[in-house]
Amino acid sequence: MNSAVQPGTLSASSRKAGREVEVRGLWKSYGEGEYVVRDVNFALRPGEFLTLLGPSGSGKTTTLMMVAGFENPTRGEILVDGHDIALRPPEQRNFGVVFQGYALFPQKNVLENVEFGLRMRGVPPADRRRRALDMLDRVGLADFTTRKPRELSGGQQQRVALARALVFEPDALLLDEPLGALDRKLRESLQNEIKELQKRFGISILFVTHDQDEAMMMSDRIAVMAEGRIVQIGPPSDVYLHPATPFVAGFLGETNLVPGTYQGMDDGYAVVDFKDAARGRVRLPADGRSLTAGEAVVVSVRPERIRLLTDHAETTFAGLVADCTFMGRHTRYRIQALGQALTVSVTEWSPTSALCAGAPVWLGWQAEDAQILSGPEGALPMPQEIVR
Amino acid sequence: MSASRSLRLSGHALLLIASAPILLFLLLPSLIIVPMALSKSQMIQFPPEWISLHSFVDYLGDPQWVDSTLLSFQVTIVAVLIGAVAGGTAAIALHGRSFAGKGLLVGLIMMPIVIPVVIMALGDYLLFAQLRLLGSWVPIAVAHGVLATPYVFISAQAGLTSELNPALVRSARSLGARPTSVLYHVYWPAIRPGLLAGSMLGFAVSFDEVVLALFLQGANAVTLPVRTFSAIQYELTPKIAASASLFIALALVALGLQALAARKTGRLS
């Protein structure tokens, strides 16, 4: 599969191809004042892999289609190296777009597919043939030039689609859920291949997906979208470890959200009382938020960060095991505690692994393993269906 | 599963036994004309007195009949061209779009199939009389073009729906293709088989159409079906059988080409 890796071309990874693509104050409405994209701002830096991540209907694909030119923004600017291209038709922009299913021309062979962008740009036949062959060689498809797309495997089709999008030296690649329809195993290998090609060509990529694992694995930065807005943008570790809102915490990975009240600062830690004080009080990093005492907040704790104990300690909360599921690599517990059901994931084999329904437990976590999130989110409902 | 296989086989046999007589009944009246064309008799009659080619010789020797035949080809080819351009472009224009009144528009395109030909013929007659165009073959070709359009449209539309992935259009545009290039590189390969099949249907419809051609005929604009029709009324010459054989042969050719186009479509998808 990785015949595409050629040591000689690896030096290209240091070269940054592509230009800066900046989106400023982008809005999209299909009329009646209902906006599917609201005030979206981001900059795709040269050589960067930026992912728009969000559930369906979050506006991520519409945003990508506006950058590609297939949708007209209601308001806003799309800048390539500072020039606004928002009003240009797609054929006058210079992006390589890869669609779900790849959309290769079925009647054209591999070489003709890859040549197409150059042909449309008026590159003379001999020249475009040479460049297309060179590109096919670089993606490891030199022996498949006369095949028709239907005679290729899914992975080969993806490489043709990428070669076709790369050959005319685009300002950036725009990828619209290219792996959405594939099974898990193939998807992982194709993710690796995209990442590999991106490093090798140093091209900037704007990637759209609803799959958080895919986003985590591939991106330099992730822009989490919900209801037409970018809720948070940052490197995967940042977004995962310091989610800005309960929505982000719930959408990227799994989390437990416990409502509480902010009491004040103590020794550099924020102090939060869970709902009624009897349920407990926690200290956790304030994450640079400015909060006022008495403000409603949400505490987020990842299932794998919660420790289960069989005996009481000072900083723990009492709970009752509702059910447990052995998952192979870990065991999942549903535990009734703090007035709600919490999910806990335990990897190591310990006395607590044998616990099951009805057993009383104590649970606790390190102060640093919990995040404080601003309270009720206004327009953004918490994605209950996504908090698995 | 040999049991279910034999069951299926016997099912096929039953179907054959039931449908063969029906097919025979439908086909025989058309096919009977061929032996009649080979009759020695000076009148058209059944059973024929075999065997002579004189009806074909008479047919080809009569300038009026030859003119009508050539005119029919001319009318039909122009009609099919009109139908292919109108039906094909309509199919492309409506493909993948939804807007208020689309159903109405499609209904309008399909209308020539639905409304009685006599009514259309009368309307066309009055229109072309007003335009002082009657007497030439052009009105017949135009009227037949209108008639052929829905057949091409349906066939082209079906072809586009099954062949054309909408992402292809976007993909081509993102690669720098202007609208004309999109038409040539994306729409044309997808629509070609359907367009060909629809044109064959249109050809068959136009070539033996008699009502419109009768209304719009002129001294020098008598199509072969109209000539045949009049001949049946007045002279009952075996030339009728000869020309009818030509109709059958053409229909078979059109049908064969259409099947070929359809098979090509199937192989592509």
Could you tell me if residue B227 is inside a domain? yes
- Which residue is associated with the tokens 């008479």? B58
Tell if the CB–CB gap between B173 and A103 is shorter than 8 Å.
Answer: no
The token pair that represents A383 in the structure block: 């994605």
Q: Beta strands A49-53 and A35-44: pairing type?
A: unpaired
Tell if the CB–CB gap between A101 and B177 is shorter than 8 Å.
Answer: no
* CA distances for A277 relative to A213, A259, A271, A298, A315, angstroms: 37, 12, 12, 15, 14
Which residues from B are below 8 Å from A104, CB to CB? Answer: 171
Q: What is the mean pLDDT of chain A?
A: 83
- Confirm whether A2-241 and A254-374 share one CATH topology: no
Nearest CB to B175; choose among A69, A70, A120: A120
- The nearest CA of chain B is from the CA of A108 a distance in Å of 9
At A236-266, the pLDDT tens digits run 998 988 888 888 888 888 888 888 888 888 8
> Is the confidence at residue A387, as pLDDT, over 60?
no
Q: Quick one: pLDDT at residue B246?
A: 84
CATH code (residue B253): 1.10.3720.10
Of A106-115, A174-183, B31-40, B123-132, give the lowest mean pLDDT range: B31-40
Could you tell me if residue B80 is inside a domain? yes
B contact test, residue of A108, A109, A116 with most B CBs within 10 A: A116
Which residues from B are below 8 Å from A128, CB to CB? Answer: none
Of A107-116, A198-207, B224-233, give the lowest mean pLDDT range: B224-233
Provide the domain limits for residue B145.
Answer: 59-268
How confident is residue B163, by pLDDT bands cut at 50, 70 and 90? confident
With CA atoms as reference, the chain B residue closest to A114 would be: B175
Which residues from B are below 8 Å from A107, CB to CB? Answer: 189, 268
Could you tell me if residue B205 is inside a domain? yes
Amino acid making up residue A11: S
How confident is residue B79, by pLDDT bands cut at 50, 70 and 90? very high
The token pair that represents B142 in the structure block: 């135009």
- The nearest CA of chain B is from the CA of A85 a distance in Å of 14
Contact, B249 vs B69, CB < 8 A?
A: no
Instruction: Specify the CATH class of A2-241 in words.
Output: alpha beta
At A102-154, the pLDDT tens digits run 999 999 999 999 999 999 999 999 999 999 999 999 888 999 999 999 999 88
A contact test, residue of B160, B168, B169, B171 with most A CBs within 10 A: B171
Tell if the CB–CB gap between A164 and B172 is shorter than 8 Å.
Answer: no
Nearest CB to B165; choose among A68, A103, A164: A103
Please state, in angstroms and rounded to a whole number, the distance separating the CA atoms of residues A210 and A280. Answer: 36
Tell if the CB–CB gap between A97 and B172 is shorter than 8 Å.
Answer: no
B4 burial type by CB count under 10 A (0-12 exposed, 13-18 middle, 19+ buried): exposed
Could you tell me if residue B39 is inside a domain? no
Beta-carbon contacts of residue B246 (< 8 Å; ≥ 6 apart): B69, B224
- The nearest CA of chain A is from the CA of B101 a distance in Å of 19
Backbone φ and ψ for A171, nearest 5 degrees, come out as -70, -30
Beta-carbon contacts of residue B69 (< 8 Å; ≥ 6 apart): B224, B243, B246
Average pLDDT over residues A4-17: 42
| Nearest Cα residue to A148 out of A140, A138, A136, A156 | A156
Q: Quick one: pLDDT at residue A148?
A: 93
Prediction pTM value: 0.76
3-state secondary structure of A388: coil
Could you tell me if residue B244 is inside a domain? yes
Q: Quick one: pLDDT at residue A34?
A: 85
Please state, in angstroms and rounded to a whole number, the distance separating the CA atoms of residues A102 and A161. Answer: 6
> Is the confidence at residue A208, as pLDDT, over 50?
yes
Could you tell me if residue B73 is inside a domain? yes
Could you tell me if residue B33 is inside a domain? no
Q: How many domains does chain B have?
A: 1
Nearest CB to A105; choose among B170, B176, B185: B185
> Is the confidence at residue A314, as pLDDT, over 70?
no
Q: Quick one: pLDDT at residue B177?
A: 93
At B49-64, the pLDDT tens digits run 677 777 788 888 888 8
At A354-363, the pLDDT tens digits run 677 778 888 8
Could you tell me if residue B236 is inside a domain? yes
Tell if the CB–CB gap between A101 and B167 is shorter than 8 Å.
Answer: yes
Tell if the CB–CB gap between A168 and B176 is shorter than 8 Å.
Answer: yes
Average pLDDT over residues A319-333: 83
For residue A40, give the DSSP letter.
Answer: E
* Domain A254-374 falls under CATH 2.40.50.140: yes
- Let me know how long chain B is: 269
Which residues from A are below 8 Å from B185, CB to CB? Answer: 105, 108, 116
CB atoms within 10 A of CB B166: 13
Tell if the CB–CB gap between B173 and A91 is shorter than 8 Å.
Answer: yes
- The nearest CA of chain B is from the CA of A97 a distance in Å of 6
Q: Which residues of A touch B (CB under 8 A)?
A: 68-70, 89-91, 93, 95-97, 99-101, 103-108, 116-117, 120-121, 164-165, 168, 174
Q: How many CA atoms lie within 13 A of A208 on its CB side?
A: 26
**A320 DSSP β-pair partners:** A336, A360
How confident is residue A173, by pLDDT bands cut at 50, 70 and 90? very high
